[in-house]
């Protein structure tokens, strides 16, 4: 039987296995709606980080240019 949460061997994992087990247990206890909200929140956070990087690299870009560089 394959594990429910496959490991990515190419990425280092510095999380203590006991902590990771607690996280997995917690995620399994979430409802589908709660999981979707977590994904939405992480997506928004990633978009904000990407936009901050675009603004850092292109400080003179207006909002239209920023959206174009962001791909939206």
What value does the mean pLDDT take over residues 5-33?
85
Distances (CA, A) of 10 to 6, 7, 14, 21, 56: 12, 9, 13, 20, 30
Least confident of 5-9, 51-55, 68-72: 5-9
DSSP letter, residue 15? S
Give the pTM.
Answer: 0.64
Residues 20-67: tens digit of each pLDDT: 999 999 999 999 999 999 999 999 999 999 999 999 999 998 888 888
Alpha-carbon span 10 to 4, nearest angstrom? 18
Sequence spans of domains, the chain: 39-72
């Amino acid at each position: 039987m394959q594990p429910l949460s496959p490991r990515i061997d190419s990425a280092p994992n510095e999380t203590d296995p006991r902590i990771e087990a607690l996280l997995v247990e917690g995620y399994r206890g979430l409802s589908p709606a709660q999981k979707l909200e977590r994904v939405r929140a992480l997506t928004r956070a990633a978009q904000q980080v990407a936009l901050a990087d675009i603004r850092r690299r292109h400080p003179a870009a207006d909002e239209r240019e920023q959206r174009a560089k962001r791909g939206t």
